[in-house]
Structure 1
Amino acid sequence: MSTARPSHPRAEHRDFRLLWLANAADGVGSQASGTVLPLLLLGLGNSPQTVGLIAGVSTAVGLLLGPLVALPADRGARKPVMIGSAAVAALAIGCVALALATGRPPLGLILAAVLVERLATACFEAAARGTVALICPGPEQPRAIARLTAADQGALITGPMLGGVLYQAARALPFLTDALSYAVSALCVSAMRADLAAPATRQRGEGLLREAAAGLRLVRSSPLLRLVLAWGTVVNAVVVALYYGAVFTLRRDGHAGPVLGAVLAVSGAAGLAGALAAPRVARRYGPPRVVTGVTWLLVPLTAALATVTGAWAYGLLFSLVCLLMPLASVVLQARAIQVTAPALQARTGAVLATATTGAAALAPVLAGTLADRVSTAAPAVVCGLLLALLAVHSSRRPVRGLLVAEGVR
């Protein structure tokens, strides 16, 4: 695979540090404001149904438009897309912070700002997915992905706590912090020295929609990318379903919010540790063993979640799930980058993200339905069955062979 990279290793390391900082700042800011947004909307007198509608619409916007907005990035405008998207997101959330600081903002303003910010974030994320392949040499990509994943996990731990503290001080502060984090991301990307323009692959006479769907066609035609899609979709949905299963189970047993917060904090720290350890584990045991081994280990852990009753036992098992998942996820993401041409990175990444995010968005609904109509243990049982099917599939010889193939597109 041919990639456009800086000619000097120091430039590569500098550009990756800037990308990491942009990603970390964005993650912390988004978690800080996203955590308190429902509290703000409820505090302004809106119903839970309205809060859920805003969350659902904003998520749907990113899911539907993600593959389309990745097209300009793959055409060579990756850096301008990232800078412009971060700037637009900063402006949108900054308007919310300003409105909160000066009075009672109307619901329409908040809804418009959230939708604009979600669209801008989808643009930024789609373009950023192609950046790792352009600034990191092939052997360094698993480690780079692990560090970016660790930043995401760290944001899940620090962002909500920061948002809660700031919201107690002044309700505009979490949104101001988010706006500043987008500004930091834009400055970091603008300071990168690498040429982030991948070679164009547009064919004469190819329509806009067909060109935008190139990533989907690649995923459909690539056995490896189909494996990444299936694994990511199932496992991400399982983790979200288990999270809501934890909420239902702990509430059933009479545990208050602080206990749930502690369980989530420990599980987030476990996910951070798993992401950092992923490259070393993959080098020691090999990608096929890591992916199949992790998938099989998730099965009994998930099944056990259906039987435990104590809060700390549930927290321990859920933390082990969060520890193991990044070990395989980093391997699969690295292989996906290696088999995707630079000019298709953003569109292909958007397709994969749309599938996994969509499944994760549906998981709470399914978990709640199972908990209401069957039992609070039902989500874990169903998740265990899904993981068992995925483990059988990933253990097949042809599938394992995909993880060691050296040929790239």
Structure 2
Amino acid sequence: MAVSTAALVADGALMGSATASTTEAADRGRASRDVRLFWWAGATDALGSQASGVVLPLLLLGLGHSAAVVGTVAGVSTAAGLLLAPLAAVPADRGARKPVMFWSALVSALAMAGVATVAAVGTPPLALLLGAVLLERFSTAVYEAAAAGTVLLIAPPGESARVVAGLSAGEQGALVLGPALGGALYQLSRALPFVADAVSYAVTAVCVKALRSDLRAEPEPHQRSHPAGGPAPHTGTAPAGPAGTPARGPLRALLSEVGAGFALVRTSPFLRLVVIWTTTVNGVIVALYYGAVFTLQKGGHGGAPMGLVLALSGAAGLAGSLAAPRIAGRIGAARLLVTVTWLLVPLAAGLATAEGPWTYGALFGVFCLLMPVVTVVLQSRAIQETPPGLQARTGAVLSTAVGGSAALAPVLAGLCATYAGTAAPAVLAALVLTLLACRTTFVRLPAPGAAL
């Protein structure tokens, strides 16, 4: 039986279409699986961190240390990771993202196991406890720097906002369960919350190892090739000098690599806005948290009430994260940014007069309901605005800035609580938020299509 050429062409087209459809379905399935694994890695990590983080200040206070010492330990441990984050972002952007994430999670697991061992001792030396906490913070900072940009590599096209909202919801869900778990475990044994954190880091390492994607960013088109005889594209490495010798030393080349993310943030109005807003609000909420710890501790409340406060605020944050994409679509991101920032001011001021766990829980809950609504929108857009080869380094700039404010906040909160009363951290937070609200109101936002 004769078969026409047209029929053969049609059959070939159908077969090609079916093959392409099968390939696309397989890619979507792999992306969906990797998104789930990455979600479990982040949620489990957050759960363990919340379980141990809520009781670490209580452990130090219970050992007889002052609020100023507690704040200083928290600040130093947070600042410890700031130096490594930008350095770890370079190999992550260059293709080593997955192994860096895996090994840093394992080191964090070992460090928290060390904290648990030290906490089990009757009266552990402060230096020994601080050393274990510092190691955990170092490795966690490396993990966070390497993980920046993972969403762009595993999320289906056009679904970055949904994936970011899901990740944020997982973290907020951990904030609901983690403090309650940590408080309950602390009542049984002061070492158990840190054991739980060590296990959570181990689970995170397993999830990262199970990702099918190698988490390598595809090179930009101009980086794959360039016209013969034309200038070589910028790749972040030192340019060659005469006779093929490097024109810059290894140190300058490394600094250039590390500074690429900062250069992008410096030249992008939208990314600068993201850094300023996120850094300020995260620093404020850390200061408010430590203010709550000092106030409740002074009132004779233990780990369980503090866990209740954070559980209520975590439940509110979970709702805010899930609702963020829909709310931003209805209200508009720019108007949402200004409105939420102004609403945070009276909430912080109200915490200055709060006393009991329920009052703190209610005010913290509303604060944490509003904050993720803006954070999810800003972060998802920042991912879209950043080139794939600069995701980790740009994320490191943001995490370093946020980490800096998170390191300074507990120190200031501890000093304020020690020398000006436990209400002082909330008063200071309200003043800082007022300045931020004025800036977001009068600043000229980037044009549509370039930012919000």
Give the TM-score normalised by structure 1.
0.84
Partner of 2:238: 204
Change (3 A) 1:329 1:104: same
Q: Deviation digits for residues 9-55 of structure 1, max 9, x if unmatched?
A: 22111101100101111112223233444555677x68557766554
Distance 1:9 1:369, change over 3 A: same
> Percent of aligned positions with the same letter in both sequences?
59
The alpha-carbon deviation at position 140 of structure 1 amounts to 1.3
2:194 is matched with which residue?
Answer: 175
CA distance in 1, matches of 2:449, 2:364: 33
Asked if 1:338 corresponds to 2:377, the answer is no
In structure 2, give the amino acid aligned to 1:146. Answer: A
Aligned partner of 2:283 among 237, 241, 257: 237
Q: Which amino acid aligns with 2:176?
A: I
Q: Using the TM superposition, name which of 324-333 and 345-354 deviates more.
A: 345-354
Q: Distance in 2 between matches of 1:333 and 1:321?
A: 18
Is 1:25–1:182's contact at 8 Å kept on the other side of the alignment? yes
How far apart are residue 152 of structure 1 and its match? 1.7
Larger radius of gyration: 2
CA positional deviation for 1:393: 2.7
Residue aligned with 1:63, SS: coil
Q: 1:50 to 1:296 in 2, by over 3 A?
A: closer
> For the structure 1 residues 173 and 388, does the alpha-carbon distance in structure 2 shift closer, same or farther, using more than 3 Å as the test?
closer
**Which 10-residue stretch deviates more, 383-392 or 149-158?**
383-392
Q: Classify 1:244/1:35 alpha carbon distance in 2 versus 1 (closer, same or farther; 3 Å).
A: closer
**Structure 1 residue runs without a partner (length 5+):** none
Question: AA paired with 1:281?
Answer: I
Amino acid of the structure 1 residue aligned with 2:184: V
CA distance in 2, matches of 1:105, 1:310: 31
Distance 2:382 2:407 in 1: 23
CA distance in 1, matches of 2:186, 2:355: 33
Corresponding residue for residue 40 of structure 2: 21
1:291 pairs with 2:310: no
Change (3 A) 1:167 1:326: same
TM-score scaled to structure 2, two decimals? 0.77
Cα distance change of structure 1 residues 301 and 103 upon mapping to structure 2, 3 Å threshold: closer
Alignment of 1:98-247 (within 5 A): 110-199=129-218, 201-205=235-239, 207-247=253-293
1:6, 1:194 within 8 Å by CA — same for their partners in 2?
no
Q: Secondary structure of 1:398's partner?
A: coil
Name the aligned partner's letter for residue 266 of structure 1.
L
Cα distance per residue 1:257-289 (max 9 Å; x no partner): 465543333222211211121122122222222
Partner of 2:5: none
- Structure 1 distance, partners of 2:414, 2:49, is 25
Larger mean CA deviation between 353-362 and 166-175 belongs to 166-175
Uncovered stretches (5+) of structure 2, i.e. residues with no partner? 1-23, 220-234, 240-251
Is 1:88 paired with 2:107? yes
For 2:105, the aligned partner's letter is A
Query: 1:355 and 1:136, CA in 2 relative to 1: closer, same or farther beyond 3 A?
Result: same
1:97 offset after TM fit, Å?
4.7
CA contact (8 A) 1:287 1:331 kept: yes
Q: Does 1:398 pair with 2:444?
A: yes
SS at match of 2:146: helix
Any idea what the Cα deviations from partners look like across 1:107-161, whole Å, max 9, x if unmatched? 6654443332221111111111110111113531112112211222222232233
What is the distance in 2 between the residues matched to 1:53 and 1:242?
A: 15
CA contact (8 A) 2:261 2:394 kept: yes
Matched, 1:73 2:92: yes
CA distance in 2, matches of 1:6, 1:189: 23
1:362 aligns with 2:408: yes
Q: 1:329 to 1:169 in 2, by over 3 A?
A: same
Flag the 1:73–1:285 CA change in 2: closer, same or farther, 3 A.
same
Contact preservation (8 Å) 1:291, 1:331: no
Equivalent position SS for 2:215: coil
Question: Equivalent residues in 2 for 1:13-52 (5 A)?
Answer: 13-38=32-57, 47-48=65-66
Distance 1:89 1:301, change over 3 A: closer
For residues 140 and 284 of structure 1, what CA distance do their matches in structure 2 show? 18
**Bigger CA drift: 79-88 or 385-394?**
385-394
Q: Which moved more, 1:388-397 or 1:314-323?
A: 388-397
Q: Secondary structure at the match of 1:207?
A: helix
Q: 1:64 to 1:39 in 2, by over 3 A?
A: same
Q: Counterparts of 2:197 and 2:406 in 1: how far apart (Å)? A: 23
Output the CA distance in 2 between the equivalents of 1:274 and 1:353: 22
CA deviations 1:33-91 (Å, max 9, x no partner) are 33444555677x68557766554432221122211111111111001111111122223
CA contact (8 A) 1:138 1:338 kept: no
Deviation at 1:227, TM superposition (A): 0.2
Counterpart residue identity of residue 317, structure 1: L
1:345 to partner: Cα distance? 1.0
Aligned residue number for residue 319 of structure 1? 365
Secondary structure of 1:139's aligned partner: coil
Distance 2:199 2:90 in 1: 27
Question: Could you list the per-position Cα deviations for residues 281-331 of structure 1 after superposition, in whole angstroms to 9, with x for gaps in the alignment?
Answer: 122222222212211222343344456677655543332111101100111
**Secondary structure of 1:198 counterpart:** coil
**Deviation (angstroms), 1:346:** 1.1
CA distance in 1, matches of 2:102, 2:382: 25
Shift of 1:98: 6.0
CA contact (8 A) 2:104 2:140 kept: yes
